A and B are shown apart, each in its own frame.
Chain A
């Protein structure tokens, strides 16, 4: 019988496909030519051709965040691989399942500073959950399975596989590949704990039953664990107000009576006040980072804390807690909910409702210029929580969190941990690829948009109906705000009066671009543009000196919050 052979590059694609991967974002180059050659007639995977590797990484990330699946990106060795680094770091900070696959120079050239050689495995050690340099084609099927498994289980995160060119070209018998592919993965040191310790759960239940002023803080872990229903049940059964982190937006409907919106540096007054008064905080899949708990030991100072997270290393990393529970939120919350009988916390909930009423998100409208907040407020009346919204990083990102409602998980895509400018547009592209039926809106600033707007080409090329809402305030607004508030308005390198003509940019990429400057233009046109079937760039020229308020200055607690009523 004739022997059939399979190449390393084909093993890569075939294995990924068997693991459920059907979409890849990437950029070719010398060290991945064999992989791209294999892609040429590989029908089971669609490849989206990015225009910069950073774009490819954020696209895969946005795809992963919007679909809950593993995002995959390809890049060549050397500069191609290092261009992925920001994207991998972004995914790492937000625990996004991402597989980065890089070509590497031939094994015989490794360590010789060959053309486009870089030690990408060494470079990405601190920003990957696991990474691999493949040394033998026979390891490849197992490594791909392992990497994929590691990326999406436990606390999800990015993995990287560096694949030398000779291994892409090497061949083994098809029968051997089949055998290797069925071999078990070897992850002895990796046993994520999903269950939660029964004793700890019992203690948590006791505390929840006794609490008089309980507060839930929901983080991204709720969304990753698909525990939104369990969260809602807990909140409703025990009548507990819920605040979310930036990445927790969408885990609990903003419109719910018990929702206090986002907490933290630019959180709502109600949410931040609640942290000051609560006697019990149930912290779910969040990590007390410095934008939430600027002063960790004084954060929620009157409360006992139950902290539930799948990652044991998060327990007491930033904040000491009374009851840590390591486990998957869905299961742990189910176990907790089972033992609870409905109760009311009328006084406490009324108090939080009072804060919500007294301190709504407000801002001062200008008579001449559009305010960035009003653009988003208007967008919210059009969208009403029924869209996937990605953001870039800066003031507009915080205003999105403050002024848009989120009702469903996986609909708020934002670089929270890393704060990566340039994330918004490619993330929206990835999201639209993964969820073609949904309305996807990228809200970006005039600064960050310029960092990755070459990716607009994909919108044209793949006919993606992404809407880009550009809030052009002619400033690096968030940095300007800090210079305004804390440095006597010494505006140093934040002025963007000299910006490109964004209409021409849009036009150059073949995308309809509209500029809105006045309130009446906004009211007349925004809805039609957002609801259009085509891609559109909507540039809103907005007031430059608006500040994001309220604000808890860095390193402080909620009692130092400023701008409670939208002015200082």
Chain B
């Protein structure tokens, strides 16, 4: 299955997210991640959905989403020319023996330590999916206690939207 990021800008009205997601559900499309937040225009929401499915169905859904009256823009991000970032908080077990090692690895990944306790460390990390996955892989040997991810934010490079 291929993965795609879709950008949707919509008037931020009641039920708009429900309306959008119901279209994906209806066509059996799996929404893996979603970010929703404000834009530079007041009253509008910007959603980035990370979905899995085939391309043809996706194009169909794109048109269906655009049909929603309050949706003003829909765009499927191409694989190139797009900045993609995700933020992750990860809590791992840390003892006196392992703490320094973990902090060193986090440094290499440009992560920052947000919380330290006698038995754990909480690290903030930003990057593309590959980088986050790589870090998670490294942390596995220390016992991961909790992970929270924001979902992918994406934006085209250059001036255009």
Interface residue ranges, A against B (CB under 8 Å): 121-122, 125-126, 129-131, 133, 135, 150, 187-190, 311-313, 315-317
Interface pairs A-B: 7 shortest CB-CB:
A313-B63, A189-B72, A130-B69, A190-B69, A189-B71, A313-B64, A125-B19
Known: A122-B18, A126-B22. A187 touches B67 (CB 8 A): no
Determine the chain B residues whose CB is within 8 A of the CB of A133 once the complex forms: 14-15
- Chain B residue numbers with a CB within 8 Å of A188 are 11, 72
B105 on the A face (CB < 8 A): no
Select from chain A the residue with minimum beta-carbon distance to B26: A126
B128 on the interface (CB 8 Å rule)?
Answer: no
- Chain A CB count within 10 A is highest, among B22, B56, B63, B64, for B63
Asked if A312 and B18 make an inter-chain contact with CB atoms under 8 angstroms apart, the answer reads no
Indicate if the CB atoms of B22 and A313 lie closer than 8 Å. no
Q: Give A232 Cβ to nearest chain B Cβ, in Å.
A: 30
Distance between Cα atoms of A135 and B11 in the complex (Å): 16
**Whole-angstrom distance between the alpha carbons of A539 and B67 in the complex?**
45
Q: B residues within 8 A CB of A187?
A: 69
Closest to A313 in B: B63
Closest Cβ of chain A to B139, distance in Å, is: 40
User: Across the two chains, which residue of chain B brings its CB closest to A147?
Assistant: B69
CA distance A312 to B61 in the complex (A): 11
B14 touches A150 (CB 8 A): no
A125 to B15, CA, bound (A): 8
Q: Please indicate the chain B residues that have their CB under 8 angstroms from the CB of A135 in the complex.
A: 14
- Out of B18, B56, B66, name the residue touching A125 (CB < 8 Å): B18
Within 8 A of A (CB), among B70-107: 70-72
A-B contact pairs, 28 of them (CB 8 A): A122-B15, A125-B15, A126-B26, A130-B69, A130-B70, A133-B15, A135-B14, A150-B69, A187-B69, A188-B11, A188-B72, A189-B10, A189-B69, A189-B71, A189-B72, A190-B69, A311-B67, A312-B63, A312-B66, A313-B60, A313-B63, A313-B64, A313-B66, A313-B67, A315-B63, A316-B56, A316-B59, A316-B60
CA distance A190 to B11 in the complex (A): 12
If over half of B's interface residues share one DSSP class (helix, strand or loop), that class is named, otherwise mixed; here it is helix
Q: How far is the CA of A559 from the CA of B103 in the complex (A)?
A: 70
**Assembly CA distance A183 to B2 (angstroms):** 46
Min CB distance A376 to B, Å, is: 37
Rounded to whole angstroms, the CA-CA distance of A317 and B60 in the bound complex is 6
Given contacts A312-B63, A313-B63, contact A121 B14 (CB under 8 A): yes
B138 within 8 A of A: no
In the complex, what residues of A have CB within 8 A of residue B38's CB? none
Nearest-neighbour CB distance to chain A for B20, whole angstroms, equals 10
- In the complex, which residue of chain A has the Cβ closest to the Cβ of B20? A125
Is B68 part of the binding interface, using a Cβ–Cβ cutoff of 8 Å?
yes
- Bound together, the chains give a CA A133 to CA B16 distance in angstroms of 12
In the assembled complex, the CB of A298 is this many whole angstroms from the nearest CB of chain B, namely 17
Closest chain B CB from A103 CB (angstroms): 18
For A315, list chain B residues within 8 Å (CB): 63
- Measured CB to CB, the closest approach of chain B to A289, in angstroms, equals 15
Nearest A residue to B18 via CB reads A125
Which residues in A have their C-beta under 8 angstroms from that of B64? 313
Separation of A188 and B44 alpha carbons in the complex (Å) = 11
Q: Do B22 and A125 touch (CB < 8 A)? A: yes
Assess the A129–B69 pair: CB atoms within 8 A.
yes
Chain A residues whose CB sits within 8 angstroms of the CB of B15 once the complex forms: 121-122, 125, 131, 133
Q: Which residue of A lies closest to B10 (CB)?
A: A189
Contact A189/B60 with A125-B15, A126-B26 known, Cβ cut-off 8 Å: no
Q: How far is the CA of A150 from the CA of B67 in the complex (A)?
A: 11
With a CB–CB cut-off of 8 A, which chain B residues contact A126? 22, 26
By CB atoms of chain A within 10 A, which of B15, B18, B26 has the most? B15
Residue of A nearest to B63 (CB): A313
Q: Please report the C-alpha to C-alpha distance between residue A131 and residue B63 in the assembled complex, in whole angstroms.
A: 19
Residue pair B11, A189 in contact (C-beta under 8 Å): yes
A188-B11, A313-B66 known; 10 other A-B pairs, CB under 8 Å?
A122-B15, A125-B18, A130-B69, A188-B72, A189-B10, A189-B11, A189-B66, A189-B70, A189-B72, A312-B63
